[in-house]
Amino acid sequence: MQIITLEVSHEIAEAYQFTPLEERQQIQQIVSLLLKKENDIDFLRKIMDEISDRASARGLTPEILDEFLNLIL
């Protein structure tokens, strides 16, 4: 494995730094899949569904997500 640098907003960087190690590893796997030339779309969808399920279980609604995205974009 190699380390790469991605430019993100200050808020995203801060949130990532305070994310538990297991979740950071999952994020790294997602980024790897997105950048992989021969990615497996079904696997990516499965990961995205899992993220969505976890977010919903923690109370994230589409409206809250829209508000959050409007704040950071």
pLDDT at position 21, please? 93
Q: Is the alpha carbon torsion for 51, 55, 61, 67 positive or negative?
A: negative
> Domain segments of the chain: what residues?
10-72
Locus of tokens 């994020």: 27
Task: Write the DSSP string, 2-71.
Answer: --------HHHHHHHHTS-HHHHHHHHHHHHHHH-TT--HHHHHHHHHHHHHHHHHTT--HHHHHHHHHH
pLDDT at position 52, please? 86
- The encoded tokens of residue 65 equal 């997500």
Comparison of pLDDT for 41 and 3, the residue scoring more: 3
Give the tens place of pLDDT for each residue, 18-71. 999 999 998 888 888 777 765 567 777 788 888 888 888 888 888 888 887 788
pLDDT at position 39, please? 56
